[in-house]
Chains A and B, each alone.
Chain A
Amino acid sequence: MLSKKQAKIFFLGGTVLFFLIFVAMSFHSLTVGIPQNTNADQLSDQVKQGKLLWDKNNCMGCHTIMGEGAYYAPELTRVYSRKGADYIRTVLNAPEGWGPRGRMMVKYEFSEEEVDAIIAFFEWMDNAHLNGFPPEPSLEK
């Protein structure tokens, strides 16, 4: 039968081993994989500002992006190609807050520059390689 000492070695050994593998893989992901998949060279100041606005307004508190966030409002990973820049501009500038189908979005007072930054951020997101997410609907309508 397994002794307590052996069990302890299993725990400590396994933890150290798998943690090291994980750190090495994370290092590779952060320095090579993600920059490639997300076109890190296209992260302009405007995109960065858009990301900051996304963050500061907690847009993720209603929407998902890359499938992460809350489930109260639409997925926005591919919103740039799905709806286009003009539509997004209309949403962000809606004077009484956006909500054509009853569910209200928070009313924002973004400047033109800020709206452009958010659109640039979505355009950057749109080009990221995400292993096929979001999936193409498989059912013919």
Chain B
Amino acid sequence: MKFTSQKIAYHFFALSMLLLVLQIVYGFIMGFAHMGFDGLHEWIPFNAATATHKNLLVVWILSGFMGAAYYIIPDESDNELFSVPLAKLQFWSLAVVGVIAVAGFHVGWWEGRKFLEIPRPLDWLVALNVILFLVIILMTLLKGKKQTTTAWVLTMGLVFAALLYLPGMIYFDNLSVDSFMRWWVVHLWVEGVWELIMGGILSYLLIKLTGVDREVIEKWLYVIVGLTFLSGILGTGHHYYYTGGPDYWLMVGGIFSALEPLAFLGMTIFAVQMYRKGNKRHPNKLAIYWTLSTAIVSFLGAGLLGLAHTLPGVNLYTHGTLITAMHGHLAFWGAYASLVLAIIAYSMPLMTGRKLHDNRTGHLAFWMSNIGMVGMTMAFAAAGVAQVYLERIAGYDFMVAAKETQAHFFVLIIAATVFTIGVLMFISNFVKFGKPVDEALQPEAEFEAIQG
């Protein structure tokens, strides 16, 4: 840690971990409901659980991104954070808005728009909060002694993510138009600007962890985010096949979304190559594991499992089935959840001065969460394939197919338990680090210091 103001990141990471645990609780509620045990139905019906599960996911990932930015931007721009009190204000207002949103879902204060269930009045508070965040980050960057490519790519990702929230705040009477604009937010986030954030954070981690020359890493960063937008923007068309859009989206969406895995493959090759070129002397083994797994698992979950159902001929049958849930889990986990865990694993030792970066708990956490998530993905896949055959191909009623897939949800619960133990171990490490301290301040770049 170069500047004491970087410590603010800890608040955001802690909030992330808390919300992740809550998200998992709601995942279990839904998993059991799918299995036939909906005992909580009176109090937390499925639609309340699902809104909570999805929004907690988005909020804990965004909180992780914010923490990452507060840690990375001062370091990259060689400058204290613009204002710590403002950052604290931003943190607490984020937490308060989050609590109100989640509480609201339980009393029916929501909008039925998948992933964007937060009601519009609250959206304004979210927007205000994000503007405050961006002002702090941009001021830090602009007043800094240097402005690196890594910092700019990360910041641009955050700015665009905020701008793209706006189209989702407009109300439309036509459901099809509503859905069309919803994808401007959801798709252009996860298959567009969030990849900029991902590229920026990965590039920072690789520079720090491998010691490879910044110029080389940042050149490839441009190529990867270039590929992202080249494929991902028109790739939005894969959500316009069957939702009322004109038929040219079948062609355009099909071709461009089929190219999207290239950007993720780019990230994999990028990270693995830089690691191999590097000197492998960095002691923070866990951060290296999480960084590499982000680059690899994102390709499997987003790239390969995305490709599996993105062509119009396949998507006609899999659209809106548990196949989508299969892909959604591994993609979010590999690309964004793991990324947040990677920056946490990297920065915590430097903020607290405690060297829990190669311990048994940490390694077990890594393996159990990843294996558990792969198991969950396989359970969703089995249930999804069964659903597609029974419902879409053989023409049975939805509920007939649903009864047949209950056993797969039992497998899901088992895998989810392994996953959850892994996550809890990660969090136990997080807690053991304790709070960041000023004594952890190291004026030299961390990497060189550790090399010595």
Contacts and interface: CB of A to CB of B under 8 A. Distances in A.
Interface of A: 2-4, 7-8, 10-11, 14-15, 18-19, 21-22, 25-26, 28-30, 32-35, 37-38, 40, 43, 47-48, 51, 54-62, 64-75, 101-104, 106, 121, 125, 128-135, 137-139, 141
Contact of A71 (B173, B241, B322): B322
A48 to B, nearest CB: 5
A29 B179 contact: no
A68 B316 contact: no
Contacts of B402: 103
Nearest to B380: A71
Given A26-B180, A55-B113, A58-B112, A66 B399 contact: no
B112 A134 contact: no
Given A4-B222, A10-B223, A43-B173, A74 B399 contact: yes
Nearest to A48: B173
Contacts of B50: 61-62, 70, 72
B273 interface: no
Contacts of B236: 22
B176 interface: yes
A43 to B, nearest CB: 6
Size range of the chain B interface in the assembly: 35 or more
A133 B239 CA distance: 13
Contacts of A67: 242-243, 319-320
Given A29-B245, A104-B38, A131-B247, A64 B234 contact: no
A38 B108 CA distance: 29
A4 to B, nearest CB: 4
A37 B319 CA distance: 19
B176 A34 contact: yes
B217 to A, nearest CB: 10
A3 to B, nearest CB: 7
A58 B38 contact: no
Contact of B223 (A7, A43, A62, A106): A7
Interface stretch (B225-233, B275-283, B347-355): B225-233
B352 to A, nearest CB: 35
Contact of A106 (B45, B252, B399): B45
Contacts of A73: 46, 398
A102 B403 CA distance: 10
Contacts of A14: 226, 229-230
27 contacts: A4-B219, A7-B226, A15-B230, A15-B233, A18-B233, A19-B233, A25-B252, A29-B246, A34-B177, A38-B176, A55-B111, A56-B111, A58-B111, A60-B112, A61-B51, A62-B47, A64-B320, A66-B175, A67-B243, A68-B179, A70-B114, A71-B321, A103-B402, A131-B241, A135-B316, A138-B393, A141-B394
A93 B209 CA distance: 61
Contacts of B111: 55-56, 58
A130 to B, nearest CB: 5
A133 B244 CA distance: 10
